[in-house]
Structure 1
Amino acid sequence: MESLIVLGEKEWLACCGSVKFAKEMASAGPFSSYQEAVGAASETWFNKVDVNGWLEAFSAHPQIGESPSKAHKSPTSAQWSKGEQSTALATATDTTLQELYEWNARYRQKFGFVFLIFASGRSTPEILAEMKRRYQNRPIVEFELAAKEQMKITELRLSKLFSANATAASTTNIQYASDVAKVGDRVSCISGHLGAAKEIPAEKSAETFTRTRPPITTHVLDIARGSPAAGIEVLLETWDNNQSRPLFGQMDSSRNWKLQGSSTTDKDGRSGQLMKMVDNLNPGIYQISFNTGKYNPAGFFPYVSIVFEVRDSQKLEHFHVPLLLSPFSFSTYRGS
């Protein structure tokens, strides 16, 4: 019988300093493997924790080069932070520490939160170079990057908890530590965390796979206000012309788009169900449209449409397509 690992809110808070995240993960457990827990943690962090929760987690980290506060709400997290920065501290000189201090202050003044990076095994010169590079980013871009770095740190800390619990329970099925050590090399933290299904043979996954939510979802964050965007009308459509594809530079007839569903974002910025609960998502071109003009009449965009393609090899995957909105800019990404 497979052993289950039970983690409480206190342990989850040590992995990620968001109280919302800790409560959600404690309720979602127990988990049978590290990989299952990481999948749930990624889903919770990117799709359930709001902007305030992200900022709360960021604030739980000391600045690079500084010791955690003695009043830290999680002693375990403080201890881990110190260990994760050990290489940076060991490679620092008085000059680089002073430069690090100055750039930490400059970064916080521009973005409003601590510089967050997966620091384990990285030297002070490496970290300084990365901070200077990321300092050039727009705030909305840097906010997303910081969230990705937080998820990498959460994965590393979670591996430590699972290793300790697995040893205590005499289990042998959790063998992912070496993978976590390489987490800093991942190209995309957001889209990669729920890739476990890809490791299962296609025939087996088709027999056992069952969705727990619609295959396409979205949420809207108002970056200008720093809060979820409630009350935005959302439409999901599919391209319904088998003879052609929507092409760049051409005016495509609205008759080619078939409505799948509509909803309005709730107080957390999340839309309701936009399509039926199906295990196999039909490959094709999809479009999510947001009535941003009604939400923000003084803004630049009367509406925003995001067009994306689902390929046949991706029909079992989940597509979370958020909108990060301000009056004069917006961005999106492929979530999980």
Structure 2
Amino acid sequence: MATRGQLSVDDVLRVNGSRRFAAALAAASPFASLADARLAARRIWLNEVDVNGWLEAFAAHPAIGTTSSSVSKWCKEEQSAALSTATDSTAQELAEWNARYREKFGFVFMICASGRTAPEVLAELKRRYENRPIVELEGAAQEELKITELRLAKLFASEAVAPPPVVGGPIQSEKAAGSSNRTRPPITTHVLDVARGSPASGIEVHLEMWKDASAPPSFNNQDFNGWATVGSSVTNNDGRSGQLMDIVDRVAPGFYRISFNTSKYAPSGFFPYVSIIFEIKKNQTTEHFHVPLLHSPFSFTTYRGS
């Protein structure tokens, strides 16, 4: 069992099924913070793990929509939105497309399903089925990395992995994920189409956190590799995003970036995507942050809501 930021190979295998990845990340520990662990995980996954390691990690996942008793607790949590929104016909169609996907590409369909409904997952499966194998392999590896980063957060939020205290570092949850007194995640969003006067559905949303607490992002420091994925989702018919992070009592302080893929929603608009950067200070970790987007083809605005 891991303690004080020290990870064992077995700890990491709960996060990512690649043995090469697990050995390398365990060897790189202990980590002073979750951000440090995520940074190391990204470096190892993208630069040190080969295709065979990627495929080994993919093989550790059940097909999306699987309800077998052998499915891990974390898998069930990540697929909860998809499972709860799947009708009998959608579940059948998912099973059929999962089989077609595996036959074409040779591995299970990989998607970071946290907060995504069954129709959203099915639509993404059908879209990516058209990819060339090399493109899809790289896409699947990026989805595996998103899942890895989310599970690292769960691992660090549990009592098993408590990183050593760092002055100015992130505050970890005092409780295990899922035991929070909150009823929703600390960071939420929705999108309103102000040109139509209606919610904007089907917009991809990504939430990220700046990795380096000692060097915050600035106008002159816009390192695109400095951000770690926290979660992603797609807005529903009410314009609201699915869950972008775990429900915890205290959110880690730092800089966050929430990005919206507006190009698919409004392809003729001026902004291909919108990114909003905001800061959660150390005295705000128990507060709620609702960061909505009010969008039109040629303008956008935001505010901190409740």
TM bucket, shorter chain: 0.5 to 0.7
User: Which of 60, 81, 85 is residue 87 of structure 1 equivalent to?
Assistant: 81
- Alpha-carbon distance in 2 for matches of 1:115, 1:181: 27
Distance 1:46 1:179, change over 3 A: farther
- Alpha-carbon distance in 1 for matches of 2:139, 2:42: 14
What's the counterpart of residue 62 of structure 2? Answer: 62
2:132 maps to 1:138: yes
1:144 Cα offset (Å) = 0.3
In our comparison, the structure showing a higher alpha carbon Rg is 1
Q: How many residues align?
A: 192
1:99 Cα offset (Å) = 0.3
Identity %: 51
Q: Do the aligned partners of 1:21 and 1:44 also contact (CA within 8 Å) in 2?
A: yes
Alignment of 1:210-225 (within 5 A): none
Alignment of 1:1-336 (within 5 A): 4-67=4-67, 70=70, 78-165=72-159, 173-175=169-171, 185-186=205-206, 199=216
Distance 1:202 1:126, change over 3 A: closer
Partner of 1:61, secondary structure, is coil
Distance 1:157 1:81, change over 3 A: same
What is the letter of the counterpart of residue 163 of structure 1?
A: A
Gaps of 5+ in 1: 73-77, 205-336
Distance 1:197 1:34, change over 3 A: same
Gaps of 5+ in 2: 174-184, 190-203, 222-306
What is the letter of the counterpart of residue 6 of structure 1?
A: Q
Distance 1:65 1:24, change over 3 A: same
1:83 Cα offset (Å) = 1.1
1:166 Cα offset (Å) = 8.0
- Alpha-carbon distance in 1 for matches of 2:95, 2:67: 12
Give structure 1 regions of 4+ aligned residues with deviation exceeding 6 angstroms: 176-182, 192-197, 200-204
What do residues 15-73 of structure 1 show as CA deviations (whole Å, max 9, x unaligned)? 10001011001111000000010000000001111111000000000001103573x7x
1:12 Cα offset (Å) = 0.4
What do residues 2-23 of structure 1 show as CA deviations (whole Å, max 9, x unaligned)? x951111111011100010110
1:194 Cα offset (Å) = 6.4
Q: Do the aligned partners of 2:112 and 2:147 also contact (CA within 8 Å) in 1?
A: yes
Of Structure 1 and Structure 2, the greater helix share is in 1
